[in-house]
Amino acid sequence: MSLEDFLLENNAPDEVIEEYQSLRYQTETYRQVLRNVPSAIIITKPSPTQEITKVNLAFEKRYGYKKEEIIGKPINILKPKNTKKPKLIDEIYNATLKGGWQGRVINVDANGNLLQTWLSTAPLYENGKDNPYALMAIMVDLRDIERYQQELREREVLANIGRLAGRVAHDLNNPLTIIKGNLELLTKLLTMSSDSSQLNPDKLTSKIDVIDDSVKLIIEYVKDLISIAKGEGYKPTDVDINEVVTFIAKDIPIIKYNSYNLNLHTNAKSVISADRGQIYRVIQNLVDNGIKAIEDEGEISITTEDVCNKKEIEMFNGNMPEGDYVRITIKDTGVGIEPENLDKIFEPLFTTKMRENGTGLGLAIVKDHLIRHNAYFRVHSEIKKGTTFEMYFPVVDKQLTKI
């Protein structure tokens, strides 16, 4: 006879029966959880030798022990023979009694195979008791974590490929549509005007110019894609960065997207080792982004200067060590970048308002080229105030100014 039947037969109070049923439900729930959870779980006595009292199905499968083989055995049955940390079990035991322990350990299974494991332990208490009645250990095979991480990376790659394909199709569709439309108009103009003297050269030229601009945009887009996918060749030479930024300043039209003032401050006296073409493109992309960020009127400034870094400084791509650098600062008074987007702007597929008019790959190329040059960079931005990009290039010569 079950306990529940006994209670019913002896007319136990309803609250007693309900309490028993609730307890039985909780016990069954815990039993099912313990049985079906994918991580290996063991329960031990709270003694220093920690004799094993219970294991779940995942433990049996992962460690190769049957329940009857492992119950009653001390916890050190899972310890490798030639361990480099013989006192680790005692350390874990003492920490568990005080609340719990977490960390990486190496266990051994029934066949002597070593298992890299993430271990989490905790004491189990009865209500109102100060001392634990048992200790629990949850053991996650790190191979599972690595496999899950690899699967996640593969899914992210596939998702990125899908997004990139959609983005490429969308961005190339616009100029291709323009080319197609203007070619059709040119065909009509040439067909309707059998007499060449009736052709309007200006109208023909304007259509050809539109086609030419669209083709250039497609070529630029494809170049960006290739640069991201394969990386461009890196041919460093000694470069005077002042010459590069001065050339870029002359090459930028006074009015491109908006009305702005361009301020140039070439204070650097040092030489850097760089691929001139790639550095040109980095600065050009950043200036172009600054111009696009200006809604009405504003300013763009390019500043070069020598700096001596006396301490390690955190940058976007890691901590910049002590040393001599040429700092290039590009600052705009545009719309700014949302704080939550600052870590995303260098992603190839990420877009903001300030990047709507380009290929959307410019800042990804900037990041790629800077890392290739062992340069460090950081970004500061405030909404409606503007954005500042700072780049630090190791120098060939000595520096003058101190940070």
CATH number at residue 384: 3.30.565.10
Residue 325: is its pLDDT beyond 80? Answer: yes
Assigned domain for 119 exists: yes
- SS3 state at 346: coil
- Beta-strand ranges (E) seen in 159-250 are 237-239
Residue 255 and residue 250: Cα distance in Å, rounded? 12
Q: CA torsion sign, 237 to 238 to 244 to 245?
A: positive
Q: Spell out the alpha helix ranges (H) of 231-322.
A: 241-251, 276-293
Assigned domain for 402 exists: no
Same domain for 7 and 119, yes or no, is: yes
Residue 382 and residue 380: Cα distance in Å, rounded? 7
Assigned domain for 385 exists: yes
List the domain range (segments joined by +) for residue 58. 3-141
Same domain for 242 and 117, yes or no, is: no
Residue 171 has a pLDDT of: 61
Q: Are 377 and 252 in contact (CB under 8 A)?
A: no
Residue 357 and residue 257: Cα distance in Å, rounded? 9
Task: Look at residues 81, 107, 141 and tell me which one is the last residue of a structural domain.
Answer: 141
Task: Look at residues 120, 141, 162 and tell me which one is the last residue of a structural domain.
Answer: 141
Convert the pLDDT of each residue in 350-402 to its tens digit: 665 544 455 556 788 788 888 888 899 999 999 989 999 999 999 875 444 44
Residue 236 has a pLDDT of: 84
Assigned domain for 225 exists: no
Task: Look at residues 122, 141, 160 and tell me which one is the last residue of a structural domain.
Answer: 141
Residue 22 and residue 28: Cα distance in Å, rounded? 10
pTM: 0.49
In the chain, how many domains are there? 2
pLDDT tier, 186 (very low <50, low <70, confident <90, very high otherwise): confident
Assigned domain for 267 exists: yes
Assigned domain for 401 exists: no
CATH assignment at residue 36: 3.30.450.20
292 φ, ψ (degrees, to nearest 5): -65, -25
